[in-house]
Amino acid sequence: MKRYLSIVIGITIMFLTYGCTNSDEVANELIEYHNNDWLTFKNMHDEKLGPIASKFIILTLRDDQKGVEVLINEEFLPPVSELVDYLEGIKLENKEVQALNQLMIEIEKEAYNKFKQTAEVLERGDKKEIEERFDKHDAYKDEQEENFDKFYKEREKLMKKYDVHWIEEYDEDGERIDKMKRKEDD
């Protein structure tokens, strides 16, 4: 009987230890993902796509449809494709962190597809089709914001589940960087 009890206790301890270790691994991967991969992605996104936004607005206000088409095809789509490739190249072990990364991949692919379709409409030059496309732009923007909110909410759920919180750091230019850290690491 003692031997049986020892085996049951040993197996129970093993499962409890594994559960803690797995939780630590997920938390560490989430932190690593955000602090390295996500921040790298965000910086790439800002550097590559930030300057395009003002050009896009100027061309749209000028009603320069050919300019918008060229801007989308030559300056927007290649960097978005590069960003998707970067996200797809991230190697993650945990399904929850993989799912989080997959959400961002889907957001970027959707943006790529919507803008590619817009460029195709502009290339065809049908005024009615172009007008309809631009009328839908606000709905696309709202949909994208909802998808970003979904990503951020999912990230917050994982942070709460694995006892991870935000810390503020500053780069050499004094810009704030929000990073993740385990709560018990404080």
pLDDT at 109 over 90: yes
79-102 tens-digit pLDDT = 999 999 999 999 999 999 999 999
3-state secondary structure of 106: helix
28-52 tens-digit pLDDT = 999 999 999 999 999 999 999 989 9
CATH assignment at residue 23: 1.20.120
Of 16, 11, 9, whose CA–CA distance to 1 is shortest?
Answer: 9
Range of the domain at 116: 2-185
The structure tokens listed for 180 are 């993740």
Separation between Cα atoms, residue 149 and residue 107, nearest integer Å: 11
9-23 tens-digit pLDDT = 545 544 444 444 478
C-beta pairs of 78-82 under 8 Å, 24+ apart in sequence? 79/44, 79/48, 79/49, 79/52, 80/49, 80/108, 80/111, 80/112, 80/115, 81/112, 82/44, 82/48
Angle at which helices 95-124 and 77-88 cross, to 10°: 160
The structural domain count of the chain equals: 1
